[in-house]
Amino acid sequence: MPNQGVTLTTQILTEACQCVESQLGGAKDGRWKTALTYYRPALREASASGDLPRELLGVALHDQLGSYYFLLRAHRLILQADSSMQALMDKLQSYKPRVVLNFEGFQYRLGDFQVRVGKCVPSSEVLRGIMMEVEYLPLSSIEKSRQILEDFFDIWQDTVKKRSLPGHFILVEPNFADYGLQDHYTPQHTAVQYATCMTQLMAAVRN
Amino acid sequence: MQQPHVAVSGATPPQDPPDSSGATTEAPPKQVALAMDRLARAARLIADIRLGADHLLEALFLATNTPHHSNKTIELIRKEEASMRQHFQDLRALGKQLEDSGVLNGSLKSRGNSWGLHMPLVCPDGAVVAYAWKRQLAGQAGASAVDRTRLALKAFTDQKRRFFPHLEDEPFGHSHDGEFGVAKKQRTSQGLVTSHIEELNEVKTLSDILTDLENKVPNMKIFTYQRLDWLKRASLLSSSANENPVDPSKEQSMHNPNKLRSGSVNAVAVDKVAVIELLVPSVFRAVVSLHSAGSINPDAVAFFSPDEGGNYVHSRGLSVHYIFRRVTEHADKALQYFLSVDANTSLSLLLHWIYSYQTLFTKVCSKCGHLLMMDKSLALLLPPVRRPYRQTCTTNFNQSQLTPSAKVQNVDLNSAYHIGCSDEV
């Protein structure tokens, strides 16, 4: 989250990456890219929009190349589909992509943690935000790993504070139960997290 | 060219088999043996040729030094030339034979694992055998002593079972590879005589220990396996790790109907128990192996993530995750300590100590008060992975004063430390 009136620059991203690398001793593991697409229904007549959802979210996760995730935020629904669904959407033209947000950056390995730091760039190429995804590999229970991840976030905050970046990181905590998801972590959880992250970012940009 | 040490055909005189042209009709092992035999002969011929060349040179040298003996040297040279020519002819014929049998050209390679065998086989003790089928390995001269002993024991027990069915099988005999349980039996009976357990004057059996433990650990699941059953289970774990387990206990009861259920201990099964699995769902899985099946002697322990699966998940394996590696390392020391203090209580203490790790991801360090901390020397972020295992000195001297009903639990199981925060090395 950037401070008021500050434009995000790639410099901040580099600083963040450096934090991960030098302070925490992360080893660079490669690049990653996740794309989030806002779909709007393509309507012939404006009046027929009655019970159609106004907005459909599509998420292509970097480590799930064979799947595509659809979210209806208003209805708290998530669906996992095959990645060929995107081609199908193009052909059907029932929902058109309005905005595409690309999250991309580097991923690092810090012992048992896998950290992805990246920028959020819409198609207009203006940097909108910087996000970080942290995964604790030994566990797959959300409940059991909660404290560990919170502690990690605290340590991260301390590390970043020393760099005095013009902004601060906010922990995104979506309500998985709303979407009917269980304690065992799955890629669907990740998709929900990206969607929630997106909402927060949009809200912050508007303010 | 070094002569391969052929166990099969080393001593036989070289003789061409009459049906060398029909080599393809022979069994593959014979073909291999023939091929090796021919290679050996080729090596000898090459050595002879070398020797012949030396003789020729020697003859020429003589000729230059003693010109008046020219007739003799000419004879020598002629003789040598004849024998060399013969050697070369023999070598050529041998080469042709080898070529025909497919040894020298790439035809074998193109046929893949030709003749269905890996050849020649180098045994664990270094000897080379022309062929081997796994089951017959021990029959070959190249089999190691362990293999031969194992097969001899198996043959003996099979015969014993067949001809003396009224004699009972030894409980430690054959479920553990190559081990003889007699020595262990001796030790346990010694333990019976000299035990100094504070709470009870008897050595607990394995089933006692396990049922005791089950009553004390509400959220830890305990399963027991025979040695081979555990390996099967470990492989199954990896295949189900990718799916989404709804209920780990349900999943396990599907895969392992042999597990001991609390309360009803099957006497026969206990004798064969060699692996104990301790699972705290979503936290860790610990694997303890017993030295001889059915004994109370733990010999190795390892910790893993509850999602890990595969052939490496056993008591001497290592987790892929750093945290569990550190815990395993610490557990090794704890195990050695428990064994050194009192072998009879070591299993019980070990299992209770393992249970203290259910708070691995929630308990803060008793020294610094944090959960996650960067370990400077390892450059890893870890929670407190150390749980103390040493008993305090004072309690050891109080044995005579403790009443029979006093608890043995003098290890402080309520504290936890980061690697950097703990006092031990």
Residues 70-109 on A with a CB inside 8 Å of B are: none
Residue B186 lies in a domain: no
Token look-up 């595409």 returns A100
Look at the pTM and tell me if it is higher than 0.90: no
Residue of A nearest to B378 (CA): A111
B144 touches chain A (CB under 8 A): no
The amino acid at residue A207 is: N
Question: Crossing angle, helix B206-216 and helix B343-355, to 10 degrees?
Answer: 30
Helix or strand run (H / E) with residue B151? helix B145-163
Which residues of chain A are within 8 Å of residue B361 when distances are taken between CB atoms? 139, 144-145, 147-148
The C-alpha atoms of residue B399 and residue B388 are separated, in whole angstroms, by 21
Tens-digit pLDDT profile for residues B292-320? 778 888 888 999 998 888 888 888 888 99
| Best CA proximity match to B307, nearest among B324, B332, B290, B288 | B324
Name beta bridge partners: A132: A117
The percentage of residues in chain B with a pLDDT greater than 90, rounded to a whole number, is 4
B307 touches chain A (CB under 8 A): yes
Under a CB-based contact definition with an 8 Å cutoff, are residues B361 and A147 in contact? yes
Residue B371 lies in a domain: yes
B215 and B132 fall within a common domain: no
Report the pLDDT value the prediction gives residue B12, as an integer from 0 to 100. Answer: 40
| Best CA proximity match to B28, nearest among B139, B131, B126 | B131
**What distances in angstroms separate CA B271 from CA A159, B254, B299, one per listed residue?**
55, 23, 16
Q: Residue-wise pLDDT tens for chain A (207 aa)?
A: 444 444 455 567 777 777 777 767 777 777 888 888 878 776 655 555 566 677 788 888 888 888 888 888 888 888 888 888 888 888 887 788 888 888 888 888 888 888 888 888 877 767 677 888 888 888 888 888 888 888 888 888 888 777 777 667 777 777 788 888 888 888 888 888 888 887 777 777 666
B221 and B360 fall within a common domain: yes
The C-alpha atoms of residue B106 and residue B63 are separated, in whole angstroms, by 46
CB contact under 8 A, A24 and B283: no
B305 touches chain A (CB under 8 A): yes
Where would I find the beta strands (DSSP E) of B25-79?
none
User: For A148-173, b where at least 16 C-beta lie within 10 A, e where not — what string?
Assistant: bbebbbebbeebbeeeebebeeeebe
The amino acid at residue B409 is: Q
Residue B403 lies in a domain: no
B133 and B227 fall within a common domain: no
Which residues of chain A are within 8 Å of residue B323 when distances are taken between CB atoms? 112, 138
| Average pLDDT across chain B, whole number | 69
The percentage of residues in chain B with a pLDDT greater than 70, rounded to a whole number, is 60
| Best CA proximity match to B350, nearest among B396, B296, B406 | B296
Report the pLDDT value the prediction gives residue A11, as an integer from 0 to 100. Answer: 64
B382 touches chain A (CB under 8 A): yes
Under a CB-based contact definition with an 8 Å cutoff, are residues B302 and B286 in contact? yes
Residue of A nearest to B308 (CA): A138
Which residues of chain A are within 8 Å of residue B370 when distances are taken between CB atoms? 151
B119 and B213 fall within a common domain: no
User: For B245-276, b where at least 16 C-beta lie within 10 A, e where not — what string?
Assistant: beebeeebeeebeebbeeeebeeebbbbbbbb
Q: Which of B382, B399, B416 is the last residue of a domain?
A: B382
Which residues of chain B are within 8 Å of residue A67 when distances are taken between CB atoms? none
Residue B3 lies in a domain: no
B214 and B325 fall within a common domain: yes
Residue B230 lies in a domain: yes
Phi, psi at residue A81, to the nearest 5°?
Answer: -130, 170
The C-alpha atoms of residue B48 and residue B30 are separated, in whole angstroms, by 27
B136 and B212 fall within a common domain: no
CB contact under 8 A, A110 and B283: no
Helix or strand run (H / E) with residue A58? strand A56-60
Which residues of chain A are within 8 Å of residue B319 when distances are taken between CB atoms? 138
pLDDT band at B114 (very low <50, low <70, confident <90, very high): very low
Where would I find the beta strands (DSSP E) of B93-137?
121-122, 128-129
- Tally of domains within chain B: 2
B370 and B274 fall within a common domain: yes
The C-alpha atoms of residue A140 and residue A186 are separated, in whole angstroms, by 8
B271 and B355 fall within a common domain: yes
Tens-digit pLDDT profile for residues B233-242? 888 887 665 4
Q: Range of B280's domain?
A: 206-238+266-382
Report the pLDDT value the prediction gives residue B398, as an integer from 0 to 100. Answer: 38
B218 and B329 fall within a common domain: yes
Q: Which of B125, B140, B155 is the last residue of a domain?
A: B140
Is the predicted pLDDT of residue B20 greater than 80, yes or no? no
The C-alpha atoms of residue B274 and residue B184 are separated, in whole angstroms, by 14
A180 touches chain B (CB under 8 A): no
Is the predicted pLDDT of residue B19 greater than 60, yes or no? no
Top pLDDT among B131 and B88 is at: B88
Q: How many alpha carbons fall within 13 Å on the CB side of residue A26?
A: 23
B247 touches chain A (CB under 8 A): no
Where do runs of H (alpha helix) occur along chain A? Answer: 10-18, 85-92, 142-161, 187-206
Question: Crossing angle, helix B343-355 and helix B182-194, to 10 degrees?
Answer: 90
B102 and B223 fall within a common domain: no
Which residues of chain A are within 8 Å of residue B321 when distances are taken between CB atoms? 112, 137-138
Helix or strand run (H / E) with residue B207? helix B206-216
The C-alpha atoms of residue A38 and residue A55 are separated, in whole angstroms, by 7
Q: How many residues does chain A have?
A: 207
Report the pLDDT value the prediction gives residue B14, as an integer from 0 to 100. Answer: 40
A138 touches chain B (CB under 8 A): yes
B210 and B70 fall within a common domain: no
Report the pLDDT value the prediction gives residue B140, as an integer from 0 to 100. Answer: 55
The C-alpha atoms of residue A119 and residue A127 are separated, in whole angstroms, by 7
Tens-digit pLDDT profile for residues B343-397? 888 888 888 889 888 888 888 888 888 888 888 887 788 888 888 888 654 333 3
Residue B181 lies in a domain: no
B232 and B356 fall within a common domain: yes
The DSSP code sequence of B280-326 is ETTTEEEEEEESSTTSS-EEEEEEE-TT--STT-STT---SSHHHHH
The C-alpha atoms of residue A99 and residue B54 are separated, in whole angstroms, by 88
Tens-digit pLDDT profile for residues B183-206? 344 343 333 333 333 444 356 777
Distance from CA of A124 to the nearest CA of B (A): 38
The C-alpha atoms of residue A102 and residue A122 are separated, in whole angstroms, by 6
Report the pLDDT value the prediction gives residue A61, as an integer from 0 to 100. Answer: 84
B324 touches chain A (CB under 8 A): yes
Token look-up 């553990």 returns B176
